[in-house]
Structure 1
Amino acid sequence: MSFTIERTAAWNPACEVDELEHGWGEVALMGAQQIALVRVTGDEVYAVDHHDPHTGAPVMARGIVGSRGERPTIASPLHKEVYDLGTGECFTDPSLVLRTYRTRIVGGMVEVELDG
């Protein structure tokens, strides 16, 4: 007999939304994962992997926050690759992808959806 264990996603509290500054990233250690949280405007918060896809260095929370048209972006502070905060797509090198995570705000707390 074989069993399949299905991994489910779970919402994990990260921080109060008011602890995040607009246009800046902060790092949240969530289990063994380092997640960069970026508050763009109002209560719009994005979560991406803190590790730069090009170098592997844990620097993305220190990236430059901006936009390409209506799409919010973050540029790696090392080599300036520009990533879409919503999709992880790299505008400057299509072979690179920044891992993204869904976020929500519940009772003023930012929650990040992580694999279970």
Structure 2
Amino acid sequence: MSGKCPQTAWISVCRVEDLEPDAGVCALVNGEQVAIFYLTQLNQVYAIGNYDPFSGANVLSRGLTGSLGGEPVVASPIYKQHFSLKSGRCLEDASQAVPTYPVRIVDGWVQVGLPKQGENA
């Protein structure tokens, strides 16, 4: 097997208790605005880009969370498009998507994963 296996750098962004249940918060992670959502019914944390491609504003962390067809989503607070919290794709316009980030909870800290920058990157 050849090729490089991608590594992840984990960045602690906040304590779990800093998250609002079923709502979003915004964190600046390595210069990027990341919207972090804690969905209590799923007991799951998600992280997506905060930039709404339809309005051109960093507002997705202010959107309403919910579920469409079993897919956890956030509705943009501007024009109400729904973005999957799992894949980042827009449910109303498949040509649009926002980045997603791996996220985990370690010792009460919410951590967002970014690709490690290697010497040959």
TM-score by length of 2: 0.84
Shift of 1:31: 2.2
Unaligned runs of 5+ in 2: 117-121
Report matched runs for 1:1-116 at 5 Å: 8-41=7-40, 43-116=43-116
Q: Which amino acid aligns with 2:99?
A: R
C-alpha RMSD over aligned residues: 1.7
Classify the secondary structure of the residue corresponding to 1:67: strand
Q: Distance in 2 between matches of 1:8 and 1:54?
A: 32
- CA distance in structure 2 between the partners assigned to 1:91 and 1:64 by the alignment: 15
SS of structure 1 residue aligned to 2:93: coil
CA distance, structure 2, for counterparts of residue 27 and residue 89 of structure 1: 19
Distance 1:113 1:56 in 2: 24
Question: Which stretches in structure 1 are left out of the alignment for 5+ residues?
Answer: 1-5
The 1:79/1:103 distance shift into structure 2, 3 A limit, reads: same
Whole-angstrom CA distance in 2 between matches of 1:21 and 1:68: 21
CA distance in 1, matches of 2:107, 2:7: 23
Give the residue type in structure 1 aligned to 2:106: V
Aligned position for 2:119: none
Alpha-carbon distance between aligned partners in 2 of 1:7 and 1:73, rounded to the nearest angstrom = 27
> CA offsets per residue over residues 53-96 of structure 1, 9 Å max, x none?
22321101001111013221001111111011011111111111
The alignment covers a number of residue pairs equal to 111
The offset of 1:8, in angstroms, is: 4.2
For residue 37 of structure 1, give the secondary structure of its aligned residue in structure 2. strand
SS of residue matched to 1:77 = coil
| d(CA) in 1 for partners of 2:39, 2:6 | 30
Structure 1 residue ranges (4+ consecutive) displaced by more than 3 angstroms after TM superposition: none
